[in-house]
Amino acid sequence: MKIGHLINGELVDEGVAYQDVFNPALGEAVKQVSLASPATVEQAISAAEAAFPAWRNIPAVKRARIMFRFKELLEQHSERICQLIGEEHGKIAHDAAGELQRGIENVEYACAAPELLKGEFSRNVGPDIDSWSEFQALGVVAGITPFNFPVMVPLWMFPMAVVCGNCFVLKPSERDPSASLYIAQLALEAGLPPGVLNVVNGSKTAVDAILSDSRVKAVSFVGSTPVAESIYATATAYGKRCQALGGAKNHAIVMPDADLDNAVSQLLGAAFGSSGERCMALSVAVAVGDSTADALVDKLQQAMQDIKVGAYTDSSNSFGPVITREHQQKIFGHIASAQQQGASIVVDGREIRVPGYEQGFFVGGTLIDKVTPDMSSYCAEIFGPVLQVVRVDTMEQAMALIDQHEYGNGTCIFTRDGEAARFFADNIQVGMVGINIPLPVPVAYHSFGGWKRSLFGDLHAYGPDAVRFYTKRKTVTQRWPSAGVREGTSFSMPTMK
């Protein structure tokens, strides 16, 4: 089966270059995705450009009604969407349903467009003068998305972009493109006119064609940090607005006074859910004090015996395979390097065998103790089901460790001490903070984004920041003089003095 593009409301495929799409549980190529050439990307941008003048003039309330319908279609077709996610990404149905629900919440937020785009008005800023600010659409905008959330991350972007009056070109991950394409088709079925939302599948060539086209006014990117950094540099060099969200290394501090059983169950889900392939995955537990660390490792080791790894079809599984064979081998390499550099492998996921899925790209849950900040496994984003424990003596040392790490996406503290928690939240150099909450992914009506090398750009994804990102402010100052009132010429700066 071949997966093409969605341009101007039509499924198209130039049929030149393809890449295999795998079912990672089977370890087999099951489909092929078309890799768009610059000419195909050009067609998508032209379709978006042509649709823009009419679309921007449709009242926001009518654009929002399409989003209401889109939400209903996403819910109606949730089983199919989760199946597509499972087949190509590998995440278990219950986790795919969570991804979809988080995406739907962004569509719900987009339904508030008439309220969000209301603007600001001041009457009588001067004699007979009124002034208002309005938020106008940018034109053609683009989104480039990662493999790990093939539905949720596109839904962070295009609903808000189009409801603000823009036309959109989406470039999903080439590793699991079907679910992204399918939800775009549902958005058209909901009533988006042809050309308002286009999908081009492909790789770097397609991305480069988007970045270099002057008709694309803004780019939202989510993916790994090296690519995010390069996309931000290129897009802004071409004069585009850009937000580029990158990788992460999320630490949880476990304080001596924490409810340890709660911390263990929360850590398990946040470290191993979705095979650790979440940018908010908790991959480092920083235990304060050796007795906390000993108890934590002991309880984690016991609890990990209940983890069940397998294919997406069995909802009793905790998590599925990782995305590719290369990624599986890379994760194994990180475990081996931690071992070589002196860490202690408490639970080793390298030897996992899943009956019936012997060729699948599985990695079992892995727990590594006595990890130190100089180890390469500590520095890198492993993006797999690997939880590393670092031991420190004080909360200050734990916070310094987090602040010194190049990434600053998410973090969390487990404690019963409100003063410590407040100090942590106030001072830690990380964009999204949890207090006894392991995955502090903001809800749709807040915005999502990390600090340091986890985000390049000024505005975060979705929520209120998305309204600002996908619009430009225009401020109009207007005078309708009252009868007989005329102002003379003034060469001074106008003031209200």
List residues near ligand NAD by CB under 6 A: 144-149, 153, 171, 173-174, 203-204, 207, 222-224, 227, 245-248, 279, 381, 383, 409, 450, 454
* Backbone phi, psi, residue 406, to 5°: -65, -25
d(CA 486, CA 492): 17
Structure tokens at 22: 């795998």
Could you give the C-alpha distances from 36 to 3, 147, 181, 316, 422, in angstroms and in order?
A: 11, 17, 14, 38, 49
Instruction: Give the three-class secondary structure for 199.
Output: strand
Q: Which residues contact 359 (CB under 8 A, 6 or more apart)?
A: 26, 27, 28
Judged by beta carbon, residue 383 or residue 414, the one nearer ligand NAD is: 383
Smallest distance from ligand NAD to CB 145, Å: 6
Smallest distance from ligand NAD to CB 350, Å: 21
Smallest distance from ligand NAD to CB 247, Å: 3
164 belongs to the catalytic site: no
Smallest distance from ligand NAD to CB 112, Å: 22
* Backbone phi, psi, residue 429, to 5°: -90, 60
Judged by beta carbon, residue 147 or residue 469, the one nearer ligand NAD is: 147
Exactly one of 111, 164, 167, 279 is catalytic; name it. 279
Report which residue's Cβ sits closest to ligand NAD.
Answer: 223
* Backbone phi, psi, residue 490, to 5°: -135, 135
Structure tokens at 264: 């263990």
Judged by beta carbon, residue 221 or residue 362, the one nearer ligand NAD is: 221
Judged by beta carbon, residue 4 or residue 165, the one nearer ligand NAD is: 4
d(CA 102, CA 99): 5
Please say whether the dihedral angle defined by the alpha carbons of residues 255, 260, 263 and 267, taken in this order, is positive or negative. Answer: positive
d(CA 262, CA 415): 10
Judged by beta carbon, residue 50 or residue 433, the one nearer ligand NAD is: 433
Please say whether the dihedral angle defined by the alpha carbons of residues 359, 364, 369 and 373, taken in this order, is positive or negative. Answer: positive
Cα-only R_g, the chain: 25
Smallest distance from ligand NAD to CB 211, Å: 8
Could you give the C-alpha distances from 238 to 141, 211, 217, 224, 417, in angstroms and in order?
A: 14, 7, 9, 21, 49
Smallest distance from ligand NAD to CB 342, Å: 26
Instruction: Give the three-class secondary structure for 10.
Output: strand
Judged by beta carbon, residue 310 or residue 450, the one nearer ligand NAD is: 450
Q: Which residues are catalytic?
A: 279
